[in-house]
Structure 1
Amino acid sequence: MVNQLFRFLQKAKSYINSLFDHMITMNKRINFMFTIAAIAVMGGALFGGTFTAQLNATAFDVKSDVSALQKIRDMGGLELVMPGAFAAMGDCDSAEFAGRTVVEFPLTGVSITLPTGLAGDFNAMTFSEQIPGPTLRVTQGDVVKMTLTVPADEATPHGNDMHASQVTAVPTFGAVQPGTSKTYCYIAEVPGVYKYHCSGVNVAAMDQHVLQGMYGIAIVDPIDGYSKLMVEKTAVNANGDVTRDRQFYSADALEFQLQYNQLYLTDGNYDQSKMFGHQHTLTTVNGQALGYVPNEIHNLLNNGDVNKNIFFLQPWNSMGLHQYQSQLLFTPTGVHNRIFVENHGNEPVFFHIVGEILDRVTQGNRVQSHGTETWLLGGSQNMIVDVVYDEPGIYVAVNHDYAAIYTGAATIIVAGLPLPNINQAATDLGVVQGAVDTGMYAGVLGNPYDAVPPSGPQSIAHPAKNVHCMCSDAVAQAQADAGAVELWVAVPAILAAAAEAAE
């Protein structure tokens, strides 16, 4: 009986293998035919006769081509025509939205020139003249009403793919032509941190648009709020035994946002061949490489000399750089910090805080880890990190890929170190009233505006923020109008007052 069963299984295996071989052969033929057809259509439409010549088995050599973009624009982009039922998705008149809070989110797709600090200026594509784009913050269940406007003089169409949405991609995220606007709506159903990014010209050139700066995040707060934080330590009890000591912190937290990406540049322009080869020029955090390291102000306060650097890489030292001058992040000790992290880039992020352990990692509304050293984020992946700094000192949030660290992915966090002299002078001048009362906090120096997300129901307010962004002067002025301190104006006055008081 066993032998008969064995022979039957052998025959069945042989039959199945031959069937799979036939299917694989057919599938290869179909895939090959489809691939050739796709390359012919896309190559002809985008790059004329040069595309197939640039493509070989070992390398891609495709660079930005304005004439190619113009061809796409002239023919109205590469757009799929969908049935009416799909085309209605994203409509803002849906009965589903009745009784819900509607949050307007206007964006402008516009190209500007921005500095890199280490590789000259670059031709950036932006949402609303800043990199990253403005952060959207809503509560789970809110309706997001997103409007993208592309100015008439913009060289190329743009789109906006919001990862927090659950609507058909076509035509919702389709290209918005220069001189026009497009609005769509969706319900933010799932809590978490979500990327939004330009969808290119109906997907064509999407990599260029995103990697030149068109990205941002949406924070969807849980409808029931965030959970209190439990941090596990140890303690010695009355009997002299070492025991587990669980410490609990309120769900209210001091909040930061860190968004990672890369720049792939040649002569200030996006170089697609470098992207294909994974040869980035710089790694950015909130649009800037090494944007959160010491500057000449910190050099003076710490070393008594503006030219004596604290950190081995300080490319943004001068106050003359205005909103681009690098700034540090400050936090008190013993306070719950919540960090919203997004990886927009083409490379993984190995998120680690040098000197600390990540007390909690949450993705969506699920806790993924308690007490871990490093957490891996793939492309377009996110997390919320909760951490409490017990000891005063200097900590560094990094992408623990050495190539990433040395090309820009280092963010210095100062925990619990007071600056009494500068804070007292700032208070006396009324720059930030009561700055000295912040105790362990940095007072007037505050925290960089672009590293602080919009306030939510469980946010601890930052006593001060400073103007900081990879952005146009108009955006920097808007930060100042909202109360952020222009340190390049305030600090010279503060230092002069402090020097006068010391005489």
Structure 2
Amino acid sequence: MKNKKSILGLNIAGLVVLSSLLMQAEAKTVKVTMHAVEADLPFDNKGNTYRAWTFDGKVPGPVVRVTEGDTVEFTLINDKESKNSHSMDFHAARLDVVEDFDSIKPGETKKYTFTADHPGVFFYHCGSDPMIQHIARGMFGVIIVDPKDSNALPKADREYILIQSEYYANPDDKKIMMDNDWTNIMFNGGVFKYDPVHDSEATRWLQAKPGERVRVYFANAGPNEFSSLHPIAGIWDRVYPSGNPKNVMYGMQTYVVGPGDAVTLDLISPVEGANAIVNHSMRSAHSGAVAVIIFSNDADPEMGHGENILIR
């Protein structure tokens, strides 16, 4: 009997080790390189521009997507034409803020490695001084860490990324940022970017079919304002703070997201028509923080998939 127990114990131990090895084998190393670039970019549907500080010349920066357990090998290259030092702070990383998130001068390169230990959607941004200005001028984005268990979340039919930020009329004036004297609240770097209702020059909006589960990865870049996120004419079916499957809430009308935070929200419409995803702080909504999503049986099948989860 003692031998049988010993054999059983060894078998169980072997299975645990094998399972651990299989999970390690499934994890991969993802190489991510970004360039800090200072460029003139449009901030509204009319094509008006401002001098943005960016990752890869885009606001928001590139979407990074990995799986829980993956190793991220990150490289930041500060363009030699930049006038300022820049850095990278990944909220999905556990590192040394002094060493790894340190600023680099124009023409320099910074590298570090981290493991994406927790599933969810995480904010990333430039952390160089003054951080408030680097974020306000556009140096932010998201990293999505998909759970290693593919069944941890209900399957999404479409996915979209929305990042809230503030537009300051004079991006060189740090005082107006400290005074929170913004002019507009934007989604994905644009005023009414996805809202042809309030801006006749808007040409983009989100799309889905009735009954589809639409997953919204939302981050609040700030740098100052909170967001009270609500889908007008809809209800958030499920809400996952920080995007972690273990943090689940059901049937939420609004969810408050502070600066530097993120959330995953699922939306399902049983009927054709429109919802309007807004920051329900009305000054924010009326100044640009509205994204219209049209539910239609002839929705574009490309929308909400691949590169079209962040509509540029």
Q: Which TM-score tier does this pair reach, normalised by the shorter chain? A: 0.7 to 0.9
Residue of 300, 304, 310 corresponding to 1:443: 300
The answer on 1:382 being equivalent to 2:310 is no
Q: Does 1:110 align with 2:14?
A: no
Q: Does 1:328 align with 2:208?
A: no
CA RMSD of aligned residues (A): 2.1
The alpha-carbon distance between structure 1 residues 353 and 450, as it changes in their structure 2 partners (threshold 3 A), is farther
Shift of 1:328: 1.3
Kept after mapping to 2: 8 A contact 1:348/1:377: yes
Whole-Å Cα distance in 2 between the matches of residues 358 and 444 of structure 1? 22
| 1:273 partner letter | K
Taking the aligned partners of 2:186 and 2:151, their CA distance within structure 1 comes to 29
Shift in Å, 1:446: 4.5
Residue 205 (structure 1) aligns with: 130
Higher relative contact order (CA 8 A, sep 6+): 2
Q: Please name the residue that 2:99 is paired with.
A: 171
Letter in 2 for 1:112: A
Match of 2:309 in 1: 452
Distance 1:191 1:256 in 2: 17
TM-superposed CA distance for 1:225, in Å, is 2.2
1:400 aligns with 2:304: no
- The answer as to whether partners of 2:165 and 2:189 remain within 8 angstroms in 1 is yes
How far apart are 1:450 and its partner, in Å? 6.9
The answer to which structure has the higher helix fraction is 1
Is the Cα–Cα contact under 8 Å of residues 103 and 143 in structure 1 kept in the other structure?
Answer: yes
Q: Tell me, in whole angstroms, the C-alpha distance in 1 between the residues paired with 2:151 and 2:183.
A: 38
Which amino acid in structure 2 is aligned with residue 127 of structure 1? F
Match of 2:115 among 187, 203, 228: 187
Q: Equivalents in 1 of 2:206, 2:212: separation in Å? A: 14
Structure 1 residue 387: Cα displacement: 1.7
Paired residue for 1:156, among 72, 79, 84? 84
Q: Which has the higher strand share?
A: 2
* Secondary structure of the corresponding residue to residue 172 of structure 1: coil
Deviations 1:189-246 (A, max 9, x none): 001110110111xxx22111111000000000111125454xxxxxxxxxxxxxxxxx
Per the alignment, in what secondary structure is the counterpart of residue 170 of structure 1? coil
TM-score, length of structure 2 as denominator length: 0.85
User: How far is 1:444 from its partner?
Assistant: 8.1
Counterpart-to-counterpart distance in 1, 2:307 and 2:282: 25
Cα offsets for 1:69-127 (capped at 9, x unmatched): xxxxxxxxxxxxxxxxxxxxxxxxxxxxx854110111000100112227942110000
User: In structure 1, how many angstroms separate the alpha carbons of the residues matched to 2:54 and 2:152?
Assistant: 35
1:357 has 2:235 as partner: yes
CA shift digits 1:360-409 (9 cap, x unpaired): 10122323420010000111111110121101001100010111111110
Q: Identity, % of aligned pairs?
A: 28
Maintained 8 Å contact 1:106/1:148: yes
Superposed displacement of residue 441, structure 1: 2.7
Pick from 179, 187, 210: which aligns with 1:277? 179
For residues 375 and 252 of structure 1, the distance between their equivalents in structure 2, rounded to whole angstroms, comes to: 20
Paired residue for 1:95?
A: none
| Cα gap change, 1:119 to 1:407, in 2 (>3 Å) | farther
* CA offsets 1:336-357 (integer angstroms, 9 cap, x no match): 1111111111100000000001
After TM superposition, list the pairs within 5 Å mapping 1:135-146 onto structure 2: 135-146=63-74
Q: Equivalents in 1 of 2:308, 2:50: separation in Å?
A: 22
* Cα pair 1:286 1:451 within 8 Å, conserved: no
Partner of 2:169: 265
Whole-angstrom CA distance in 2 between matches of 1:448 and 1:132: 18
Instruction: Tell me which residue corresponds to 1:370.
Output: 250
Alignment of 1:182-261 (within 5 A): 182-200=110-128, 204-227=129-152, 229=154, 251-261=155-165
Tell me the distance in 2 between the aligned counterparts of 1:138 and 1:211: 26
Structure 1 residue matching 2:247: 3-state secondary structure: strand
Q: Distance in 2 between matches of 1:367 and 1:334?
A: 24
CA distance in 2, matches of 1:447, 1:123: 29
**2:14: which partner in 1?**
none
Question: Is the 8 Å Cα contact of residues 34 and 77 (structure 2) preserved in structure 1?
Answer: yes
The 1:400–1:185 alpha-carbon spacing in structure 2 relative to 1, beyond 3 Å, is same
Structure 2: which 5+ residue stretches go unaligned?
A: 1-23
Which runs of structure 2 are paired with 1:489-500 in the superposition (5 Å)? none
The corresponding residue for 1:480 is none
2:198 is matched with which residue: 312, 315, 319? Answer: 312
Unaligned runs of 5+ in 1: 1-97, 230-250, 295-310, 318-324, 417-439, 454-467, 470-503
Secondary structure, counterpart of 1:153 in structure 2 = coil
